[in-house]
Structure 1
Amino acid sequence: MSSIKVACATLNQTPLDWKGNLEHIKSAIQEAQKEKADLICFPELAITGYGSEDLFLSYWFPQKAVKQLEKLLPFCGDITVAVGLPVRIQEKVYNCMAIIENHELKGIVAKQFMAIDGVHYEFRWFTPWEAGKILTFDFFGKDIPLGDMIFDKKGFKYGFEICEDAWRGDARPGYRLKDRHVDLIFNPSASHFAMGKTKEREELVKKSSIILHAVYFYVNLLGNESGRMIFDGEIMVARYGELLLKNKLLSYKDFQVQYFEHSEAQSDLQPINSPIDKNEEFVQAASLGLYDYLRKSKSKGFVLSLSGGADSSTIAVLVAEMVRRGSEELGVPVFLGKLGMSYIPQTDNPVKEIVGLLLTTAYQASENSSFSTFQSAKTLAESIGAVFKHWEIGDEVKGYTEKIENAIGRRLTWKADDIALQNIQARARSPIIWMLANINHALLLSTSNRSEGDVGYTTMDGDTSGSISPIAAVDKYFIIQWLKWAEITLGYKGLAKVNGLQPTAELRPSDNQQTDETDLMPYSIILAIEKLAIRDRRSPIDVFLNLKEELEIEADLLKEYIKKFFRLWSRNQWKRERLAPSFHLDEFNVDPKTWYRFPILSGGYEEELKELDTY
Structure 2
Amino acid sequence: MPHLHIAGATLNQTPLDWEGNKDTIEQAIQKAKELQVDLLCFPELSITGYGSEDLFLSHWYPKKALAYLQKILPLTRQLTVCLGLPCRLNNQLYNCMAVLEDQKILGIVPKQFLAIDGVHYECRWFTPWKAGELTQFDCNGVAVPFGDLVFEKKGIRYGFEICEDAWRGAQRPGYRLKDRKVELIFNPSASHFAMGKSEQREILVKESSESLNAAYFYINLLGNESGRMIFDGEILFADRGKILYKNPLLSFQDFQLVPIQFSPEEAPSQPGYRSRHNKNEEFTAAVSLALFDYLRKSRSKGFVLSLSGGADSSTIAVLVAEMVKRGIDCLGTPLFLKKIHRSDDIDPKSSLPDIVGKLLTTAYQSTRNSSPDTLHSAKTLADSLGATFYQWSIDEEVAGYTQKIEAALGRSLEWQRDDIALQNIQARARSPIIWMLTNIKQALLLSTSNRSEGDVGYTTMDGDTSGSISPIAAVPKDFILQWLRWAEKKLGYSGLNAVNALQPSAELRPLESRQTDEEDLMPYSILTAIERQAIRDRRSPVDTYLILKEELSLESSVLKRYIAKFFSLWSRNQWKRERLAPSFHLDEFNVDPKTWYRFPILSGGYRKELEEMQNLADDN
Residue 266 of structure 1: how far off its partner (Å): 1.1
- 2:445 corresponding residue in structure 1: 444
2:100 is the counterpart of 1:100: yes
Letter in 1 for 2:132: G
Residue 259 of structure 1: how far off its partner (Å): 1.1
Q: After superposition, what is the alpha-carbon deviation per residue over 1:65-113, rounded to whole angstroms, capped at 9, x for unaligned?
A: 0000000011111110000000011321100000000011110000001
Residue 270 of structure 1: how far off its partner (Å): 1.0
- 1:71 corresponding residue in structure 2: 71
User: Secondary structure at 2:415's aligned position in 1?
Assistant: coil
Alignment of 1:222-301 (within 5 A): 222-263=222-263, 264-301=265-302
Q: Contact 2:337–2:348 (CA<8 Å) still a contact in 1?
A: no
Q: Contact 2:119–2:595 (CA<8 Å) still a contact in 1?
A: yes
Q: After superposition, what is the alpha-carbon deviation per residue over 1:226-262, rounded to whole angstroms, capped at 9, x for unaligned?
A: 0000000000001111000000000000000001111
Residue 342 of structure 1: how far off its partner (Å): 1.4
Distance verdict in 2 for CA 1:114–1:428, change over 3 Å: same
- 2:590 corresponding residue in structure 1: 589
User: Secondary structure at 1:146's aligned position in 2?
Assistant: strand
User: Secondary structure at 2:204's aligned position in 1?
Assistant: helix
Q: Contact 1:178–1:212 (CA<8 Å) still a contact in 2?
A: yes
Letter in 2 for 1:413: E
Residue 612 of structure 1: how far off its partner (Å): 1.5
- 2:169 corresponding residue in structure 1: 169
* 2-structure distance, mates of 1:49, 1:509: 50
User: Secondary structure at 1:548's aligned position in 2?
Assistant: helix
- 1:497 corresponding residue in structure 2: 498
Residue 613 of structure 1: how far off its partner (Å): 1.9
* 1-structure distance, mates of 2:129, 2:287: 35
* 1-structure distance, mates of 2:68, 2:346: 39
- 1:10 corresponding residue in structure 2: 10
2:31 is the counterpart of 1:31: yes
Alignment of 1:130-209 (within 5 A): 130-209=130-209
* 2-structure distance, mates of 1:533, 1:286: 26
Q: Contact 2:239–2:268 (CA<8 Å) still a contact in 1?
A: no
Letter in 1 for 2:446: L
* 1-structure distance, mates of 2:190, 2:46: 9
Distance verdict in 2 for CA 1:246–1:468, change over 3 Å: same
* 2-structure distance, mates of 1:193, 1:342: 30
- 2:457 corresponding residue in structure 1: 456
Structure 2: give runs of 5+ residues left out of the alignment: none
Aligned length: 615
User: Secondary structure at 2:497's aligned position in 1?
Assistant: helix
Structure 1: give runs of 5+ residues left out of the alignment: none
Residue 341 of structure 1: how far off its partner (Å): 1.6
- 2:21 corresponding residue in structure 1: 21
* 1-structure distance, mates of 2:443, 2:13: 23
* 1-structure distance, mates of 2:345, 2:558: 59
- 1:121 corresponding residue in structure 2: 121
Taking structure 1 as the reference length, the TM-score comes to 0.99
Moved over 4 A (4+): 343-349
User: Secondary structure at 1:415's aligned position in 2?
Assistant: helix
Q: Contact 2:135–2:147 (CA<8 Å) still a contact in 1?
A: yes
User: Secondary structure at 1:417's aligned position in 2?
Assistant: helix
Letter in 2 for 1:583: F
- 2:433 corresponding residue in structure 1: 432
2:351 is the counterpart of 1:350: yes
Residue 2 of structure 1: how far off its partner (Å): 2.0
- 2:557 corresponding residue in structure 1: 556
* 1-structure distance, mates of 2:279, 2:516: 27
Q: Contact 1:472–1:582 (CA<8 Å) still a contact in 2?
A: yes
2:340 is the counterpart of 1:339: yes
Letter in 2 for 1:552: S
2:573 is the counterpart of 1:578: no
* 2-structure distance, mates of 1:527, 1:491: 28
Taking structure 2 as the reference length, the TM-score comes to 0.98
2:424 is the counterpart of 1:423: yes
Letter in 1 for 2:47: I
User: Secondary structure at 1:15's aligned position in 2?
Assistant: coil
* Identity %, equivalent residues: 67
* 1-structure distance, mates of 2:348, 2:246: 37
- 1:546 corresponding residue in structure 2: 547
Letter in 2 for 1:128: P
Across the aligned residues of Structure 1 and Structure 2, the Cα RMSD in angstroms comes to 0.9
Letter in 1 for 2:518: E
Letter in 2 for 1:287: S
Q: Contact 1:347–1:353 (CA<8 Å) still a contact in 2?
A: no
